[in-house]
């Protein structure tokens, strides 16, 4: 136990600056709302959400909206605090896209205006208002975690602000007809979109029949565990036990002991953790001696590439699911990876990928309206109709949800020919959208 605690403390310190966005939520700041449930003030009222054609704001003249005016992209992401790495990586993907485009589309200069949310919903809301009312941005993107998004959804809708959610996975923003908005799109993912795929893979291709579920004890953790469990049981499997450690668990020993006590007959463990929790969990799972007894299915960032140098051998063999992989063998992805490595000297991940395609979506929509965004409805229609070959698949939006249609990959941490560890794709599921589950 002393050695485990020592490793846990060391891992915690080393991981403090790493991202925690894959699950659409992270360890909230003291002022944050629960990850999947908006505060009462942020919850859209039926009247607000049902507005189909609000009275438009005064539009700029075509002359002002055309090539002489820059197209301003407000990016609200964490750039300080525990989630700073998430925001920086996301912006890097945007920067690569801007470089490829020559910082222009349809005769208009593309201007990126980042704003630091610090993972704090109140700070995110303040920046959104400033960007809309003072900076007069053309579009808002970003939102590192779900509470940032729930805090501003109603404001964005009421302001008729064109918005592309490019990180947060709050399901309701695309799945719930009472929360959707004609002004809000999403280019990243939806909570549950990976889990239902992974559950079906675990039973049908992985051969697992009895699985332990482990996730942090907060709204998002329980939500994704519930979705995985439901689809695993639909496939014919059984849930041996459900174990929910609190966020920021330092010593997973008592919870790993429960796996032995409550689920000795299980044939795998599915674990969904983010950030430092994910690193500590992987390290201690091996330390506790469970790795050889119960194969590990990774949810969220368990088994994610950015953590492999830190975790080492403890990550070997973990099977996870996500909608981006740097080693996905598609020419467009290989070119994206090559350019990203050339510019930043690291492999891109899902955050960089989402940032990249978000800018490319906006550029294509601008080309469709010839740079003139004075007719907001025409510009919204242009975004809805975007279609181009991106790194992972043809990038396009679901007509009802306005969420991007994606390819979900199941991948496994293997030892690569050069001796390092990396995720290799073992199954792919194309055309997955927000209503696929």
Q: Are residues 179 and 213 in the same domain?
A: no
Confidence of residue 388 (pLDDT cuts 50, 70, 90): very high
Query: Do 252 and 294 fall into the same domain?
Result: yes
> Smallest Cα–Cα separation from 164: which of 146, 139, 131, 190?
139
Mean pLDDT value of segment 127-135: 98
**Among the ranges given (17-21, 154-158, 235-239, 306-310), the one the predictor scored with the smallest mean pLDDT:** 17-21
Domain-embedded: residue 2:
no
pLDDT given at position 334: 97
- 31 occurs within a structural domain: no
Contacts of 28 by beta carbon, 8 Å cutoff, 6+ apart: 34, 35, 119, 145, 147
Task: Judge whether 55 lies within some domain.
Answer: no
- The phi-psi region of residue 289 (left if phi > 0; otherwise alpha if psi is between -120 and 50; otherwise beta) is left
Residue 91 placed within a domain: yes
Q: At 235, which CATH number?
A: 3.40.50.2300
Nearest CA to 113 out of 85, 138, 96 is that of 138
Within this chain, do residues 364 and 227 fall inside the same structural domain, yes or no?
no
Task: Give the pTM.
Answer: 0.81
* Residue 104, domain member (yes or no): yes
Please tell me whether residues 169 and 111 are part of one structural domain.
yes
Q: How far apart are CA 130 and CA 271, in angstroms?
A: 39
- What are the backbone angles phi and psi of residue 370, rounded to the nearest 5°? 55, 35
Which pLDDT score, from 0 to 100, does residue 274 have?
81
Do residues 311 and 279 share a domain? yes
The reported pLDDT for the residue numbered 32 is 34
Find the domain containing 357 and state its range: 60-191+331-404
> In terms of domains, do 92 and 122 share one?
yes
Mean pLDDT of the chain: 86
| Lowest mean per-residue pLDDT among 183-187, 244-248, 393-397, 402-406 | 244-248
pLDDT digits (tens, 9 = 90+) for 404-433: 999 999 999 999 999 999 999 999 999 999
235 and 277 inside one domain: yes
- Residues 253 and 369 occupy one common structural domain: no
Whether residue 436 is predicted with pLDDT greater than 70 in this model: the reply is yes
Domain co-membership, 123 together with 68:
yes
Residues 370 and 278 in one domain: no
pLDDT of residue 3: 38
Q: 137 in a domain, yes or no?
A: yes
User: Given a cut of 50, is residue 394 above it in pLDDT?
Assistant: yes
CB distance 351 to 84 below 8 Å = no
Q: Are 208 and 228 in contact (CB under 8 A)?
A: no
* pLDDT (average), residues 59-71: 59
Can you give the pLDDT at residue 154?
Answer: 98
Residue 48 lies in a domain: no
Total of domains in the chain: 2
Number of CB atoms found within 10 A of residue 391's CB: 24
- Is there a single domain that holds both residue 368 and residue 414? no
Compare 146 and 258 and report the one with higher pLDDT: 258
pLDDT(92) > 50:
yes
Residues 6+ apart with CB under 8 A from 380: 162, 182, 183
Mean pLDDT calculated for residue range 91-99? 98
pLDDT of residue 2: 39
Whole-number pLDDT of residue 232: 98
What is the mean pLDDT of the segment spanning 10-17?
Answer: 37
Q: How confident is the model at residue 67 (pLDDT cuts 50, 70, 90)?
A: low
Going by pLDDT thresholds of 50, 70 and 90, the confidence category of residue 76 is: very high
Percentage of the residues of the chain whose pLDDT score is greater than 70: 85
Q: What is the pLDDT, as a whole number, of residue 11?
A: 40
Q: pLDDT tens for residues 270-316?
A: 999 987 889 999 999 999 999 989 999 999 889 988 889 999 999 99
Verify that 274 and 421 share a domain, yes or no: yes
Q: What is the 3-state secondary structure (H, E, C) of the chain?
A: CHHHHHHHHHHHHHCCCCCCCCCCCCCCCCCCCCCCCCCCCCCCCHHHHHCCCCCCCCCCCHHHHCCCCCEEEEEEECCCCCCHHHHHHHHHHHHHHHHHHCCEECCEEEEEEEEECCCCHHHHHHHHHHHHHCCCCCEEEECCCHHHHHHHHHHHHHCCCCEEECCCCCCHHHHCCCCCCCCEEECCCCCCCCHHHHHHHHHHCCCCCEEEEECCCCHHHHHHHHHHHHHHHHHCCEEEEEECCCCCCCCCHHHHHHHHHHCCCCCEEEEEECHHHHHHHHHHHHHCCCCCCCCEEEEECCCCHHHHHHHHHHHCCCEEEECCCCCCCCHHHHHHHHHHHHHHCCCCCHHHHHHHHHHHHHHHHHHHCCCCCCCHHHHHHHHHCCCEECCCCEECECCCCCEECEEEEEEEEEECCCCCEEEEEEEEEEEECCCCC
Q: Identify whether 173 is part of a domain.
A: yes
Structure confidence by residue, pLDDT tens digits, 315-352: 999 999 999 999 999 999 999 999 999 999 988 989 99
């Amino acid at each position: 136990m002393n050695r485990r605690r020592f490793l846990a403390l060391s891992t915690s310190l080393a991981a403090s600056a790493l991202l925690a966005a894959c699950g659409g939520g992270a360890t909230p700041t003291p002022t944050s709302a629960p990850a999947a449930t908006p505060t009462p003030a942020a919850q859209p009222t039926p009247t607000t959400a049902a507005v189909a054609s609000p009275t438009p704001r005064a539009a700029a003249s075509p002359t002002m909206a055309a090539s002489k005016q820059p197209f301003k992209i407000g990016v609200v992401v964490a750039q300080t605090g525990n989630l700073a790495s998430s925001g920086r990586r996301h912006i890097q993907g945007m920067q690569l896209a801007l470089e490829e485009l020559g910082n222009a589309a349809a005769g208009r200069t593309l201007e990126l205006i980042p704003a630091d949310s610090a993972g704090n919903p109140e700070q995110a809301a303040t920046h959104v208002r400033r960007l809309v009312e003072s900076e007069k941005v053309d579009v808002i993107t970003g939102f590192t975690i779900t509470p940032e998004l729930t805090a501003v959804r109603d404001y964005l809708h009421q302001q008729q602000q064109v918005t592309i959610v490019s990180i947060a996975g709050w399901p309701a923003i695309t799945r719930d007809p009472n929360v959707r908005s004609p002004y809000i799109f999403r280019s990243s993912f939806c909570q549950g979109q990976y889990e239902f795929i992974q559950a079906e893979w675990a039973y049908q291709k992985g051969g697992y029949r009895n699985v332990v579920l482990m996730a942090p004890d907060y709204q998002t953790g329980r939500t994704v565990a519930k979705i995985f469990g439901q689809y695993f049981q639909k496939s014919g499997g059984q849930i041996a036990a459900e174990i929910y450690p609190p966020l920021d668990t330092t010593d997973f020993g008592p919870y790993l002991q429960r796996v032995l006590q409550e689920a000795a007959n299980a044939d795998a463990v599915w674990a969904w953790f983010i950030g430092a929790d994910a690193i500590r969990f992987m390290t201690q799972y091996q330390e506790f001696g469970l790795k050889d007894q119960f194969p590990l299915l990774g949810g969220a960032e368990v088994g994610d590439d950015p953590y492999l140098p830190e975790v080492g051998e403890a990550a070997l063999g973990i099977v996870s699911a996500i909608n981006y992989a740097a080693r996905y063998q598609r020419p467009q992805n290989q070119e994206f990876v090559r350019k990203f490595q050339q510019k930043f000297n690291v492999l891109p991940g899902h955050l960089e990928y989402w940032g990249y395609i978000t800018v490319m979506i906006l550029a294509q929509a601008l080309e469709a309206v010839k740079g003139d965004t004075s007719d907001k409805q025409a510009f919204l229609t242009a975004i809805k109709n975007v279609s181009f070959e991106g790194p992972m698949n043809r990038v396009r939006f679901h007509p009802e949800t306005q969420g991007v249609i994606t390819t979900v990959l199941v991948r496994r941490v293997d030892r690569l020919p050069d001796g390092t560890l990396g995720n290799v794709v073992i199954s792919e599921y194309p055309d997955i959208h927000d209503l696929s589950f």
